[in-house]
Structure 1
Amino acid sequence: MKAGLPIGMAVGIALGVAFGLALNNLALGIGVGVAIGGGLGVASMGVTNAKKAKDGGDGGTFTSDASNSTGSDCGSDGGGGDGGGGGGGD
């Protein structure tokens, strides 16, 4: 399990509760804390994955090797269609 998200959520909620108590609006503080904690957690997971990818570990990221693609593999089917969109008749 990746520890980035739970730690980020805990820090965010703790900060949110502190701000909520200081501003006398606990519900708003918890909501803001969850939002901040989610952002912190996802950001820390991204940093962890980037470090793993840099070190050669399995960071869970997908990289494609486009060096062996040919010119005919550019999304065109090479068909002879006229491109007419058609439509209903009268």
Structure 2
Amino acid sequence: MSKQKKSDNKGNTGMWMGICIALGVAFGIMMDNIGIGIALGVAFGAALSSINRDPKEKDKEK
């Protein structure tokens, strides 16, 4: 069996996506449009997960 390369991603992408999608669903329920709430949650989650990284870690990925 060959060894699989483990991801060295130390970001909290899953955490931010989960929190933002949950907030997006709540916002969507309040505005009576869940689709837009989920889409905004995904967008904000992706933005927060990329902003939260250390600049030195971004250079190592390249």
TM-score, normalised with respect to structure 2:
0.69
Structure possessing the higher relative contact order (Cα contacts under 8 Å, 6 or more residues apart): 2
The alignment of Structure 1 onto Structure 2 pairs a total of residues equal to 52
Q: Which structure carries more helix by proportion?
A: 2
SS at match of 1:2: coil
Partner of 2:59: 61
Q: Determine what percentage of the aligned residue pairs are the same residue.
A: 35
Mapped to 2, the partners of 1:40 and 1:9 lie a distance apart of 8
Of residues 10, 35, 41, the one that matches 1:33 is 41
Mapped to 2, the partners of 1:6 and 1:16 lie a distance apart of 15
- Residue identity in the other structure for 1:29: G
Partner of 2:5: none
Instruction: Name stretches of at least 5 consecutive residues in structure 2 with no aligned partner.
Output: 1-8
Partner of 1:4: 12
Larger CA Rg, structure 1 vs 2: 1
Instruction: Name stretches of at least 5 consecutive residues in structure 1 with no aligned partner.
Output: 54-58, 63-90
